[in-house]
Amino acid sequence: MKKRLKDSPFNPQYTLFLGCTVPVRAVNYEISTRKVADRLGVHLSDIPEFCCCGYPIKSVNHYAYLLMASRNLALAEEKGLPLCTLCSACCGALTEANHEIQEDEKLHKRINDDLSQWLGKRYDGGVRVTHFVRVLQQEVGEKRIAAEIQADLSSLHLAPHYGCHYTKPSTLYERVEDPEDPKSLDQLIEASGAKSIPYENKLQCCGGGVLAFDEEVALAMAHSKLEHIRANQADAMVLLCPFCNIMYESNQRKIEKVYRKEYKLPILFYPQVLGLAMGMEPDELGIKMNRVRPTELLKKINPIVAKKS
Amino acid sequence: MIHSKTLDPNFRSLIAQEPGGEHIRRCFSCGTCTAGCPVREVTDRYNPRRIIRMAILGMKKEVLSSQFIWLCSSCYTCFERCPQDVKIPELMNAIKNIAAREGYLPPSMKMQLELLSSFGRLLEVDDYENEKRKELDLPLLQGKTEDVKKILKELGFHREEKIEG
């Protein structure tokens, strides 16, 4: 088995799509992603000219959203690599734009007419879009991950948060997993050596989608999940979307204040967990930037002393 | 009390012509959407079944001017569960697109439009961010792009005086 892994060509190459939130409010997610990608042999390149994916404007003008998404996809097409995102909403918005363009020739032509006239660009429609954590699950796989594990995370109890746009709408992602019972993040957590714990209402939305419109409602949604996770005594929540992180980490103090509770629940991006399992230093993974310090959690991690064979 | 005189029977056709609103007529009000809605769980101001019913009845003004259409978090739970494939989050977007055209855009959305127009992103990547990126050995990003402003301008969503004034 090992031999086959070695022989098969493994050279995944992607353009990394950061979106709006990551470079400003989740740099630790970006740092840890690049670090683990590098170690696992996933090559990530960059396009500095990317704009917002278009998702936020979908509710105001559907066509404006399609144009913004197509502009980004056109840039990626020029580079000739598939796109991988860190934000689940970016992944959904860009994938959906691809579907619409591929299914509707007239719409595709209209988009290209406007793109070329207004921005001097064109998009042929052939850029594959995925999420970095999906690349870890599908392309890198548990075996390659297992081969890189250098620290013992077995005493960590981590609560996975899938968020919404990572699995839904399932038709968009060719039903890569059951959106009512997803398992990929649990499996990736277990692959890092940590324990993935169950909790009530695991698939609940973070509320980020209504934060700009009604903060009270958004905080109430995030609060309910923090309660459920606390009930099961997790060492941290693990997630894969920077906007979910805004709800659970950046707004955790605010939620504590509004509901007169204390959580101090560390929130980690999955690549940070994986990096720790690979024996990387917390500083290399941007953990200094995590607002809720995972001090106790880090104390529970031990190096694996002797690795046989 | 609903007065039939105030109803607009064409409202559902208007919605059905909008991208995402095509399946509105399929709704038979089973309430699966509302039962599983995470927003509904924390506030009774949002109720997708009720909104769809109002739209089908033709309560155009009430629907377009209401706050509740903007409370959908787009989690797609109802999208997955709807037995009639009404595609509710997309339907809400279709209604919101009409509301935006008819002048009912909430202030928070206007602000997002202005940010996108000014920076090409919701959050500005300024010199400070790029300086920080340099220190962290991360690739630099283009501070802003005019392309989004151009798109919004061509589609009639950007007014110069509003942004600068």
| Minimal CA separation from A299 to chain B, in Å | 25
Interface of A with B in 245-274 (CB under 8 A): none
Quick one: pLDDT band at residue B163, thresholds 50, 70, 90?
very low
Supply the DSSP symbol for A177.
Answer: S
Would the pLDDT of A6 be above 60? no
Quote helix, strand, coil % in chain A, to nearest 5.
50, 10, 40
pLDDT tens-place string over residues A33-76: 999 999 999 999 999 999 999 999 999 999 999 999 999 999 99
Residues A249-265 have a mean pLDDT of: 98
| CATH classification for the domain delimited by A2-130, as one of 1.20.1050.140, 3.30.565.10, 1.20.120.160, 3.40.309.10 | 1.20.1050.140
Interface of A with B in 134-193 (CB under 8 A): 164-165, 168-170, 179-180
CA distances from A159 to A33, A195, A227, B34 (A): 20, 9, 12, 27
Domain B4-101: state its class. Answer: mainly alpha
- Searching chain A, which residue's CA lies closest to the CA of residue B72? A210
Quick one: pLDDT band at residue B165, thresholds 50, 70, 90?
very low
Interface of A with B in 96-115 (CB under 8 A): 114
Asked if B76 and A179 come within 8 Å (Cβ–Cβ), the reply is: yes
Asked if A62 and B76 come within 8 Å (Cβ–Cβ), the reply is: no
Would the pLDDT of B70 be above 70? yes
Nearest of A176, A196, A194 to residue A186 by alpha carbon = A196
**Amino acid, single-letter form, for residue A43:** H
What are the φ/ψ torsions at residue A261 (nearest 5 degrees)? -135, 165
pLDDT tens-place string over residues B27-59: 999 999 999 999 999 999 999 999 999 999 999
* Dist. CA A162–CA A205, nearest whole Å: 9
Would the pLDDT of A193 be above 80? yes
Nearest of B122, B127, B141 to residue A47 by alpha carbon = B141
Would the pLDDT of A27 be above 60? yes
Name the residue among B20, B139, B145 with its Cβ closest to that of A51: B145
Quick one: pLDDT band at residue A1, thresholds 50, 70, 90?
very low
In the structure encoding, which two tokens stand for residue B109, read together? 């959305």
Chain B residues with CB inside 8 Å of A224's CB?
Answer: 41-42
Topology adopted by domain A142-303? Rossmann fold (3.40.50)
Q: What is the mean pLDDT of chain A?
A: 95
Percent of chain B whose predicted confidence (pLDDT) is above 90: 90
pLDDT tens-place string over residues A228-238: 999 999 999 99
Residues A144-164 have a mean pLDDT of: 97
Interface test with A, best of B72, B115, B149, B151 (most A CBs within 10 A): B151
- Searching chain A, which residue's CA lies closest to the CA of residue B147? A119
User: What's residue A307's pLDDT?
Assistant: 53
* Dist. CA A59–CA B45, nearest whole Å: 19
**β-strand A83-85 against A157-160: which pairing, if any?**
unpaired
- Searching chain B, which residue's CA lies closest to the CA of residue A286? B136
Asked if A203 and B19 come within 8 Å (Cβ–Cβ), the reply is: no
Would the pLDDT of A2 be above 90? no
Q: Is this structure's pTM higher than 0.90?
A: yes
Quick one: pLDDT band at residue A8, thresholds 50, 70, 90?
low
The residues near B86 (Cβ < 8 Å, ≥ 6 apart) are B23, B24, B26, B27, B33, B52
Looking at B20-76, list the stretches that DSSP marks H as alpha helix, in order from N- to C-terminal side.
32-35, 38-42, 48-57, 60-64
Would the pLDDT of B141 be above 80? yes
Q: Locate the domains of chain B by residue range.
A: 4-101, 107-164
Percent of chain A whose predicted confidence (pLDDT) is above 70: 96
- Which part of chain A is CATH 3.40.50.11810? 142-303
Residues B116-129 have a mean pLDDT of: 94
Which residue matches tokens 């509105």?
Answer: B24
Task: Count interface pairs A-B at CB distance under 8 A.
Answer: 162
Interface of A with B in 10-39 (CB under 8 A): 18, 20-21, 23-25, 27, 30-31, 34
Quick one: pLDDT band at residue B159, thresholds 50, 70, 90?
low
User: What's residue A303's pLDDT?
Assistant: 86
